Copies of this chain bind each other. A is one copy, B any other.
Amino acid sequence: MVYKIKFQPDGRVIHVPGGTTVKEAARLAGIVIDTPCGGTGTCGKCLVQVISGSTEISLSDRKFLSEDELLEGYRLSCMLKSSADSVVRIPDETRLHVQKILTYGEEKEFKVNPTVEKIFLELTPPALDYQVSDFENLEEKVLKLTGKPVYANLKAIRELPHIIRSSDFKITATLDDGELINIEPQDTRNECYGMCFDIGTTTVVGAIVDLNTGKEVAISSRMNDQVIYGDDIIFRINLTINDKNGLSKLHNKVIEVINTIIEDAALQAGISRNKIYSMTAVGNTTMHHLLLGIPPQFIASAPYIPVVKELVKIKAHDLGIEIHPNANLRVLPNISAFVGSDSVGVMLASQLHRGDDIRLAIDIGTNGEIMLGNKKRILASSTAAGPAFEGIHIRHGMRASVGAIESVHIIDGKVKLGVIGGGVPAGICGSGIVDAISEMLKEHLIDETGRMAVPSFSLFKDGHKDITITQRDIREIQVAKGAIQAGIEILKKELGIKTESISEILLAGAFGNYIKKESALRIGLIPSMGLERVRSIGNAAFVGSKMALCSKDAIREAIEIAKNTEQIELSGRPDFQEEFANAMSFPVTNSDLQYSRVSA
């Protein structure tokens, strides 16, 4: 049987075979439903409201929905199978929106000295008494000009004879670390571009950089479309285990996203993709593996082993990436299964490994990576903190996209909200939750153990919706911030220092950029210190990727950082549970004490 499904308020109609999930039907109708869990009925995020038609109630519906909601026709769209012609409303908060994405990071000054360079050559035409092959001719000239030998890429070699003769033996050779990757007639040295990428679990950002100047000429970003298979790396790794095509599905998705970004950026910059001669990428170790088509399966379970940690250099074209066909992609090295090349990028950008002072860098994306140290020694750890701060597992949580509550103030008992894009809120994102909890702590609506004074706290309410913070939300945030806090405690202990010895805290990543520092301090996400010593450094992982694109020295440094950083595996430590338990509580502040004293 084929059923007609009509989606509201869009009015779109699709015909699907019986048994098709409503989520899938929506996708076919061109509406993407946000399914953090990959459509496995385990996150409760893909709610739709059935106006008429199929309304079978699944076990997952029972788990996530109240009796009232069930009566109103709410169902999880990933579980609801079409068994009749239906009309279904897809609420705004269920839809996948393009997210507020952090593209710029804190730029460091660095010498522009990329692996890729263009050299203009005026060759001597061969003759009966000057017998050199075309490649020899080029080779000798390059050696003379640069003092370095050149080796050949076959695709470039194939074009050599016609190009040199079409341009009176005046050509521009593009070399990547001694490899001849391109030849063009005449002098084209001014057109030399590369692209740097940050492949996040949730977001992919890429920029075209002029390799002559190191300046960005275009930037573009997209949701990492792998999210349709699940929001966090564990869901995606599981897909590679449970679906024999899972790895290639995920691999192809991220390549598609990269190609879309390339196309968009090239269009913005008005340059041909063929003039992009080099590419770098950073990402967590799972993203790294998925980008390269390497099975990430053994990252997920003890003893947590990545397949490869070293810097990987490969033809971008071999992965299906549409830039110059001979361009090399360099993926920066990983440190361990959970501390990836994105962390290496953060350290590179923040120069943590060069400082005299001990600094702490925290990169909260979908996971939370923490790095502590200076030029003598750096420790790094990863904590599974991310999802809650990205709105996952939060009752009305959502990503930091249009409609998300991103800031909360309680002034004189009244709630004031900041909403991304303005207007009526659809849910609450990470920085909003942290703000809300911080404010609720100040107002003593929560005690230091996280217990709420009221069953739930309403942030916004109108005829249609009631956005609340629940006791369970508080617990989720406590677990997440507890993990990071405990990680920091362990790293401090390992390094043998106290908070006073940390000269600065650097907050990297989107969350680190948008979060209010006061709130982060208030809930104990970061160690207690003066606000002036806490600094947001933007998308530092991306900046690290860009530095590697523009500088051979940065690549060498990245390799050194990856080799020298000591990874501390938290799950393997007997003291982690204790630290974690301690860190679950919210800090007692002076005002609390004062209040206590007053109430005593």
Could you list which residues of chain A lie within 8 angstroms of chain B, going by C-beta atoms? 126-136, 152, 154, 157-158, 160-162, 165, 292-295, 297-298, 302-310, 312, 314, 318, 334, 336, 567, 569, 572
Contacts and interface: CB of A to CB of B under 8 A. Distances in A.
Contact of A134 (B135, B158, B293, B305): B305
Q: Which of A126, A133, A292, A302 has the most CB of B within 10 A?
A: A133
A305 B134 CA distance: 7
B567 A131 contact: yes
A126 B157 contact: no
B298 A161 contact: yes
A135 B333 CA distance: 13
A297 B162 CA distance: 9
Contact of A310 (B152, B161, B293, B336): B152
A161 B297 contact: yes
Contacts of A308: 133-136, 152, 157, 160
Contacts of A131: 303-305, 336, 567, 569
Q: Which of A158, A567, A569 has the most CB of B within 10 A?
A: A158
B297 A128 contact: no
A292 B159 CA distance: 12
Quick one: which of A132, A297, A308, A309 has the most chain B CB within 10 A?
A: A308
In the A-B complex, the 6 residue pairs with the closest CB atoms: A135-B308, A133-B309, A128-B572, A128-B303, A134-B307, A126-B305
Nearest to A299: B161
Contacts of A295: 158, 161-162
A152 B308 CA distance: 9
A312 to B, nearest CB: 7
A571 to B, nearest CB: 8
Contact of A154 (B133, B135, B318): B318
A387 to B, nearest CB: 24
A499 B126 CA distance: 34
B135 A302 contact: no
